Structure 1
Amino acid sequence: MFPRIFLSVATLVLSCNSLLSAEVQLADDDTVLINAQKLHLHGIALPSADEVCTTSAGRKWPCGRYAREQLVKAAALDEMACQPAERGTAICRIGGLDIGSLLVKEGLAKAAGDYQDLEDRARAAKIGIWE
């Protein structure tokens, strides 16, 4: 079974320290375009778009495509607010929820820093790419 949908939350805006708004677009892999500037989602690494994962039972599933579909569905449901973070990254939220942490928590992305404890829990629960 595929992992459950992680958000139920389409206007996209950038929320900076000064509350300035600008258009945000989902780009390839784990990136967003904010005012034509490409930023990676902070703290995560999504599977490549064409990646196929194999469960412990040997079943193959299109984990890369599925992770992107979930991200696109979430972005279409509510406003996305992004705040630039360190080294070309942005922390983006939908409905106040951190997208990166949710992707890692649901086993749809690997942690690349701050979310390692969430990845460890997803691995232990054998969900998403860790199934």
Structure 2
Amino acid sequence: MTRPYRRRPTISRPRDLLLTAGFLFLLILVAARLDPSGEDASFSGPFRVIDGDTLALGSERLRLSGIDAPEIMQTCRRTDGSEWPCGREAKDRLGALMRDGQARGAVPECHGAAMDQYRRRLVTCTINGDSLNGRMVRDGYAIGTGLLTFRREQSLAEAEHVGIWSGTFETPRAYRKRMDAAAENKDMRDIWLKLKEMMALHWL
């Protein structure tokens, strides 16, 4: 009795090439979002506070790396359901941390090399050796963005119910996405209204 012939599985070369191309494409996207080509640069204050995770020094914009603070117009909710301006308070908290350090004679310093997609330099900032990035997370005015970055600080803030952890909040990323979608929908509505107006004209 002859055994039925079974074709050995073969590796699909086109499929492998496609997977490799897809992987390379993802690497290119990551490199495009975070441009590490710049040299490590250092900056000394005083800085101007833009929001809870962004500073300015002249025309240079510095983004505190590893954290994400509420957007300036974002609100959060307390346990009783009332809203509070967590975005503005995050900005105020970052400013207060810098002023407190300067009052003790310390100069805030930031350093970093990578640039984000908005051409802001990603930096780590310290005052007297204390990380401003980590302090914003520890005080409950920002969340850590990495799998391990500032996890301890965030766990402590959450356990103590401080800052945004005192109630409920929308993550800054989700808030930005919702605002972008709302702006896009508004643009589409405006275009549609303009078209309706044009169609309603009595052309001669």
TM-score by length of 2: 0.49
- Select 1:104's aligned residue among 137, 141, 152: 137
Alignment partners' CA distance in 1, 2:43 and 2:114? 19
User: Match for 2:90: what amino acid?
Assistant: A
3-state DSSP of counterpart to 1:102: helix
Q: Which runs of 5+ in 1 are unaligned?
A: 1-16
Does 1:124 pair with 2:159?
yes
Question: Which protein, 1 or 2, shows the higher relative CO under an 8 Å CA cutoff with sep ≥ 6?
Answer: 1
Whichever structure has more helix as a proportion of its residues is 2
Alignment partners' CA distance in 2, 1:95 and 1:44? 20
Using the aligned pairs only, state the percent identity.
Answer: 27
| Segment drifting more, 79-88 vs 95-104 | 79-88
Distance of aligned partners of 1:33 and 1:123 in 2 relative to their CA distance in 1, 3 Å threshold: same
In the TM superposition, what is the alpha-carbon distance from 1:48 to its structure 2 partner?
0.8
Distance of aligned partners of 1:66 and 1:27 in 2 relative to their CA distance in 1, 3 Å threshold: closer
User: Match for 1:108: what amino acid?
Assistant: Y
Matching of residues 74-89 of structure 1 within 5 Å: 74-77=97-100, 78=102, 79-87=107-115, 88-89=121-122
Q: How many residues align?
A: 114
Alignment partners' CA distance in 1, 2:58 and 2:86? 29
Distance of aligned partners of 1:82 and 1:121 in 2 relative to their CA distance in 1, 3 Å threshold: same
User: Match for 1:25: what amino acid?
Assistant: F
In structure 2, the partner of 1:53 is 76
- Check whether the contact 1:23–1:35 (CA below 8 A) recurs between aligned residues: no
In the TM superposition, what is the alpha-carbon distance from 1:84 to its structure 2 partner?
1.1
Q: Which runs of 5+ in 2 are unaligned?
A: 1-39, 116-120, 167-204
In structure 1, the partner of 2:127 is 94
3-state DSSP of counterpart to 1:70: helix
- Check whether the contact 1:31–1:39 (CA below 8 A) recurs between aligned residues: yes
In the TM superposition, what is the alpha-carbon distance from 1:96 to its structure 2 partner?
1.9
Alignment partners' CA distance in 2, 1:52 and 1:23? 29
The two structures, once aligned, show a CA RMSD in angstroms of 2.4
Between structure 1 and structure 2, the one with the greater Rg is 2
Alignment partners' CA distance in 1, 2:108 and 2:45? 10
Whichever structure has more strand as a proportion of its residues is 1
Alignment partners' CA distance in 2, 1:46 and 1:55? 17
